[in-house]
Amino acid sequence: FGLIMFFFYLCDYKKVFPILHKEYSRDTFLFLMFLLFSVGCFFTLRPTTDTILGRVISSLIFYIKSCRDQTEEWKGWMQVMFVWYHYFAAGEWYNWIRIYIACYVWMTGFGNFSFFWVKKDFSLWRMLKMLFRLNFLVIFVCFVTKNEYILYYICAMHTYWFFSVYLFMRVLSSWNQDRIKMAVKFGAYIVCNALMFEIPGAVSTVFRPLWFIFQYHDGKHDIMHEWEFRLGLDHWACLVGMLCAYNYPHFEAFMKWIEDNSTTAQEMYRKMAIRLGMVAAAILSLIVWYFTILTKDKYSYNAIHPYTSFIPILSYIVLRNSFPILRKYHVHLFAWLGKITLETYLCQLHIYLQSNAKDLLLFIPESRLLNFSLSTIIYLIASYFLFLITNNFSSFLIPKDVKLVLRYAAIGVAIFGSSVSFAIIL
C-alpha cells in the first residue's frame, strides 16, 4: 500500500514523469472500444452464477438479490467508458458519461435498500464497513497528493446517498413491512429531497457547517458550488433505485409468469406479445430519449438530466433481462473490472492522467498507443492491488467486535496523526 501511495506521490505531486497532452481521435476511441467489447464478448463470456430472479422467501418477505455477475458487468463497461472518456478527451461523450454516473447512483439506491429491507441490519458495524469501503483509500490519496476531497466527488456523492438510504430504512424501521406506511415514508423522502435540491442554494446552506470537508477552490465559484452541482445532478436517481428495489418482487413474479410454460397456444402467444411489447417500448423510449434529450448541448442537458436519466436506466434493465438467454451469460472481463471501479476511479487521476485529468502520463515517448498500453497495464495492476488491500484492511480493522473496532480506530488515528504531523514538520 505504501509503495503504491509513493508512486502516486511521484507521479502527480512531484511529477517525476513527463506529461503528454491529450489528442482526441474519434476513430481511435471507437476502434479501441469495439476491440475491447469484441474481446470481452467472444473470449470472456461466462455462465451467470446468479439468476436475476433468484429469490428466497422468508415470512412472505422477498429477498431481492440482483444478479451479481450482471451488475458487476454493467459497472465494468461503464467504468471503461468513463475512464477512457477522460483519457482520450472524448468530450462529445459527456452526456453519456452523465448517464453512467446516474446508473451508479441508481445501484446505490437499489442495492442498499434491498440489503436493509431484507437483512434489517442497521448496526454500526454495517455502516462502518460501507464508509470504510467508500472513503478509506480516498482519504489517503487526498493527503498524499494534497488534493481536496471533492475532487473525488464520486466518493462523497455515494457516501451521501448511502446515508440517505440508511436513514430512510433505519428511521421507523417497523414501518418497512407495511405498504401504506412505506408510501408515507417515500412521500416524506420525496419532499425532503425536493426541498434540498429544488431550492437553489439549499445544499450549500445545509452543508456549509462542514465546509472543511466539502469545499473546493476553483477560483471562480463559491467553495460549496462544486459539491452542490455534483450532488444535484443525480438527485432523483437514488430514489428511482429504491423504488425499483421495493417493487422488484412484483416485477420478478411478472417475469416468472411470462417465462413459465404455457398450457395453451393462445396463452403462449399472449406472453410472447407482452414480452415483445416490453422490448419495443424500451427501444422506442431510448430512441425518443436519444433524439430529444441526449443530443442537447452540455448545459441544456445538465438542466434536465436529473429528471430524465431514469429512461435509459430502466430501458437498459428491461432489454438486458428481456430473454433468458441474455441473463444466462455475462462478460467476465467487464465483471472483473466492475469489482474495482472505486480503485480505477481514484487511480486514473494520478497514475493514468495528470493535472486533474488534463494531461497524460508519458512513459514511452513518441508512441501514443504503446504509452497507452503500458500506462493501462500499470494502472490496472495498481487498482487491483489497492482493491485487495482495502478489503484486507476492512476485514482486519472492522471486526464485528465493537471493542476491537474502537481499539483499532484509536491506534489507527494515533499512527495516522503522528505520520501527518511528521510529514508537516518535514
Query: Residue 53 — very low, low, confident or very high, per pLDDT cuts 50/70/90?
Result: very low
What residue type is 332 in one-letter code?
Answer: H
User: What's the CA gap between 131 and 129, in Å, rounded?
Assistant: 6
Is a pLDDT exceeding 80 seen at residue 63?
no
- pTM: predicted TM-score of the whole model, two decimal places: 0.92
Is a pLDDT exceeding 50 seen at residue 62?
no
User: What's the CA gap between 200 and 212, in Å, rounded?
Assistant: 21
Cell of 388: 485487495
- Contacts with 277 (C-beta within 8 Å, 6 or more apart), sequence order: none
User: What's the CA gap between 34 and 17, in Å, rounded?
Assistant: 30
Four-point Cα dihedral 333, 338, 343, 346, nearest 10 = 100
Q: What count of other Cβ atoms lies within 10 Å of the Cβ of residue 138? A: 20
Dihedral pair phi/psi, residue 360, rounded to 5°: -115, 155
In this prediction, residue 407 carries a pLDDT of 81
Cell of 379: 494502472
Is residue 320 within 8 A of residue 103, CB to CB? The reply is no
Could you report the per-residue pLDDT of 183-205, keeping only the tens digit for each?
999 999 999 999 999 999 999 99
Q: Which residue has the cell 430501458?
A: 315
Query: Residue 426 — very low, low, confident or very high, per pLDDT cuts 50/70/90?
Result: low
Is a pLDDT exceeding 50 seen at residue 66?
no
In this prediction, residue 17 carries a pLDDT of 94
User: What's the CA gap between 13 and 19, in Å, rounded?
Assistant: 13
Averaged pLDDT score across all residues of the chain? 91
Q: Is 144 helix (H, G, I), strand (E, B) or coil?
A: helix
User: What's the CA gap between 390 and 136, in Å, rounded?
Assistant: 8
User: What's the CA gap between 318 and 90, in Å, rounded?
Assistant: 28
Cell of 145: 497528493
Is a pLDDT exceeding 60 seen at residue 52?
no
Could you report the per-residue pLDDT of 290-310, keeping only the tens digit for each?
999 999 999 999 999 999 999
Domain that holds residue 30: 2-425
DSSP class of 79? H
DSSP code string of 360-383: EE-SSTT-HHHHHHHHHHHHHHHH
Dihedral pair phi/psi, residue 115, rounded to 5°: -60, -50
Our measurement of the distance from residue 191's CA atom to the centroid of its chain's CA atoms, rounded to an integer in Å, reads 25
In this prediction, residue 348 carries a pLDDT of 96
Total count of domains within the chain: 1
Handedness of CA 278, 281, 283, 285 (dihedral sign): negative
Strands, sheet with 359-361, edge to edge from the N-terminal-most edge strand: 19-21, 359-361, 353-354
3-state SS of 239-265? HHHHHHHHHHHHHHHHHHHHHCCCCCH
Is a pLDDT exceeding 60 seen at residue 56?
no
Cα separations in angstroms, 363 against 358, 375, 381, 383, 420: 17, 7, 16, 18, 31
In this prediction, residue 67 carries a pLDDT of 64
